[in-house]
Amino acid sequence: MDVLTNPLFLMCMAIFLGYYLGKISLARFKLGISGTLFAGMALSWLVYRYGVEPFADTNIATIPPYVSRILANGLVEAAYFDFLLLLFVAAVGLLAAQDVAKVFRGNGLKFMILAVVITSTGAATAYLLFRLIPGLNPLSIAGVYTGALTSSPGLGVALEVAGSMFADPLSAAARTAQASVGLGYAVAYPFSVITVITGMQLLPKLFGVDSAREAAELNEQIGAHKSTVTVVSKGLDMRAFALVALTGFCIGRISIPLASVGSISLGTTGGVLVAALVLGARGRLGPISLWMNAKALNVVKQLALYFFLAYVGLNYGHQAVAAMAGPNALLVLVGMLTTAMSLLVGFLFGRYVLHMNWVLLSGAICGAMTSTPGLGAAIDTTGRNEAAGGYGATYPIGLLCKVLLVLLLNKLPL
């Protein structure tokens, strides 16, 4: 079992099976790259069901080493998560960087408004559902909301607020409240990822959006075509790539104070994406060229995205399956509806009120929801890396809005 539960073995197996799963067509709908996510979830359930759960009541001294490792770290260690995110967003940001200024021109205010609309829609949906459905633990609402909009910083604030509700933040009652928040997040998160990925594929089909025409219109808007992109570096300049990663890692660790709320930071995803867009738009930094071969960057982007989706499926799959069949099924439903309403309202508002191009809108929706897997699906669906420009534009505003809305949700009566 040591080989079968090896993280690299499992991720490669999820990618291999997911490739074929993504090719299956149902009424002209294909999972595509998200097949890897579902394959990872299935493998996760199998490993826990037959490799971990039989040892649940076993004496700790007799548990096999692989079971101890999985119970302590999950199927795939968290270090893979940050590394794969770093590779993916750095590659995407550098690919989109040359046109980022043109993408923002005339769209800056639209991006800000869209981020507020999407995050507020999610909070309103979660609140209404918690009011309407009896029996839900009110302490779980902030966790479900942050899980539905995939916001780890928002979860951190929600946990802190739950603890501060008690005189002793370390008391058993405080820990119980924080456990309810964590449960809501853990139950909602994997289904949010699934909903966002499938939503990116379904929305243009449901509303008759021609992705190819939208891409052509964006080309006219920014005045740039793939054939005219200037390439300075012939391959993948590792100095430049490492510089972007280091700069972004530092940016992501900068804390932004929010008075009594505490502070937030962009994290690895936001920091590296900002660094890639800004440095890539600059083009050169001394002797280092930030304009790299698009084919090389696309290979890095695709490889990192496949492994990232495998990671998410493997680490959250067993939780998701258990939640569907267990007493937390209603929390799953609330989370999925919260995500779906955020997606739908974001699309309708961005498309028909703000009149945004679908390529930019797809990335902007995912940025407001801080959903990196969604960005991968947006790029895959539209065929354009410029979706990352929309993602980067709404990400910081979406992050801030979700932190503030978590505080609001904890104050509203349920």
Tens-digit pLDDT string for the chain (414 aa): 778 889 999 999 999 999 998 888 766 667 777 788 889 888 998 998 888 888 876 666 678 888 888 888 888 887 887 788 788 888 888 887 766 666 667 678 899 999 999 999 999 999 999 999 988 888 888 889 988 987 766 676 677 777 777 767 667 777 777 777 877 887 888 888 889 988 998 999 999 999 889 988 888 877 654 444 444 566 778 888 899 999 988 988 888 776 655 666 777 777 887 888 888 888 788 888 788 888 888 888 889 888 988 887 888 778 777 777 667 788 889 999 999 999 999 999 999 999 999 999 999 999 899 888 888 889 888 888 888 888 888 888 887 788 788 878 877 887
Task: Give the pLDDT of residue 246.
Answer: 92
For the entire predicted model, the pTM comes to: 0.75
Q: Which residues of 176-215 are buried (b: 16+ CB within 10 A; e: fewer)?
A: ebbebbbbbbbbbbbbbbbbbbbbbbebbeeeebebeebb
Torsion angle (degrees, nearest 10) of CA 3, 80, 198, 134: 90
Reduced to 3 states (helix: H, G, I; strand: E, B; else coil), residue 53 is: helix
Task: Give the pLDDT of residue 178.
Answer: 77
- Of 123, 215, 166, the closest CA to residue 414 belongs to 123
List of residues 6+ apart from 198 with CB closer than 8 A: 31, 34
Torsion sign, CA atoms 394, 160, 135, 48 = positive
Reduced to 3 states (helix: H, G, I; strand: E, B; else coil), residue 143 is: helix
Main-chain phi, psi angles of 263, to 5 degrees = -150, 160
Neighbours of 280 (CB within 10 A): 23
Residues in a beta bridge with 29? 26
Task: Give the pLDDT of residue 228.
Answer: 44
Task: Give the pLDDT of residue 291.
Answer: 81
Task: Give the pLDDT of residue 231.
Answer: 46
Task: Give the pLDDT of residue 120.
Answer: 96
Torsion angle (degrees, nearest 10) of CA 378, 380, 384, 389: 30
Task: Give the pLDDT of residue 156.
Answer: 66
Single-letter code of the amino acid located at 250: C
3-state helix, strand, coil in the chain (%, to 5): 75, 5, 20
